[in-house]
Amino acid sequence: MRIPEAGLYWNIIQLDYSSLYPSLISIHNISSETVERPGCRGYEEAPGVGHRICMDHPGLVATVLGRLVERRARVKASGSRDPRVKERSDAIKWILVSGFGYLGYRNSLYGSITAYECVTAYARRALAVAEEEAERAGYRIIHSIIDSVFIQPVDPEISVEELAERIRLRVGVPLKIEARYRWLYIPPTRRGPGAVNKYYGSLAGGGVKLRGVMAVRRDTPEYIARVQRAVIAVLARAGDPSTFQELLGGAGRIIEAAAKALVEGRVPLRLLTIERRIGEQTRRPQKYARSLIDQGIIVDRVKYVVTRRGPKPVWELRGNEEYDPNHYLIVLERALAELPQPLIARLNPINQ
C-alpha cells in the first residue's frame, strides 16, 4: 500500500486481485500447523518476515480456503443472472474473509499470528509486483491498497488485459478490471497527503463509484450525504478537464443553497439525524455517545439530533425543536473537505 497524492486524475483503471488473501493462503500453504513446523524437508520463506512455511504437508486452513476459492470462481464463471447465484458467491466471499481474519485471532482454534504475518507479507509483495509490472509497461501508479491498484496509461506498451495476465503469472492470483474511470478524485487528509481509504470517480460506462467518503458513511446525516452526492453527480458529467471546471460553478451553487437552508432552519430534523455506535467495544465514541454510556443507557447505536440546547436522542424529539445550524455547518464543511478544493470556498461566506 502506498500513500497517494491527493487530487483529480483522468482516465484511471482499477485492477483488483480476485480473492487475494485466501488465494495466497492456498498457494503458499499457510496454516497454523505449517508455519515454523519442525522436521520438514521443504520450506518456503515468507518475504520480509523470515517465517518458514512447511511445504511437506497440506495445511488445513490452506486446503479449505483453496477449495472455497475454486468453488466461488466456478459460481461466478457460470454467468447466471439468477440473484441466488450472486448470493452464493457473496456467501463464499464472506467465509473467505472470515477465514483470513480468524487466522490472526489469538482465540481461534486455528489462529496463528505468524501465519497471519505470512499472508500479509505475500499480499504486500503482490501489490509491489503489480506496481512494478504496471510501471514497466508504461502505466503510472496512482494508488494501491489491500488488493487494488489504480493505474493511468501514460505510454502503455501493452493492453490492461495483457498487463493483468503478466501480473497473474508472477503472483499466481488472477486480476480483473474492477472499474474504468473518466476521472478519479482522492481527497486530501488534514495533514496534506491523499486519503488512503477514500476515493470516488465518474465511471466510463456511466454512474459514480464512492468509497469511504461521508456520502456513504452510516454516521453521516442524510442531508449532508445528499448534498455531497448531488455535487459529485454534477461533476460526474464531466468528460474532460475543461468541462469539469465549468461544472464546478453549478456544484458550488448546490453548496450555497444547502448552507443557506441550514442557516435559515428549513431542513427537516429527520434529515439531520446522526447515528453513532456507543457500545463498550467502540474505540473512539463521540462525546455525546460517551455521555449516554455514563448515564447507563445500554444500546449498540444511538440516533440523535444536535439541537440549540444540545444533542437529543430521536425518541425524545417532539418535532418542534430547533437544530443547531452551526454544528451542521461544521459537518457540511467536513463533507466539502472531501470535494475538489475550489468548492470549499463556497461555504466560507455563509460561515462568516
pLDDT at residue 20 is higher than 70: yes
The pLDDT value given to residue 350: 42
User: Residue 244 to residues 53, 140, 150, 252: CA-CA distances in angstroms?
Assistant: 52, 22, 21, 12
The pLDDT value given to residue 69: 93
User: Residue 161 to residues 68, 171, 208, 209, 229: CA-CA distances in angstroms?
Assistant: 25, 15, 23, 22, 32
> Average pLDDT of 129-151?
94
Q: How far apart are the first and last CA of the chain?
A: 40
Q: Name the β-bridge partners of 211.
A: 199
What band does 3 get if pLDDT is binned at 50, 70 and 90?
confident
> Average pLDDT of 108-130?
91
The owner of cell 455535487 is: 231
Q: pTM for this one?
A: 0.85
**Rounded CA separation 173/163 (Å):** 13
The structural domains of the chain, ordered by start, are: 1-18+137-212 (3.90.1600.10), 19-130 (3.90.1600.10), 213-266+328-351 (no CATH), 269-322 (no CATH)
The pLDDT value given to residue 315: 80
User: What proportion of the chain, given as a percentage, has pLDDT over 70?
Assistant: 89
> Average pLDDT of 288-295?
62
The pLDDT value given to residue 287: 60
The pLDDT value given to residue 317: 83
What band does 120 get if pLDDT is binned at 50, 70 and 90?
very high
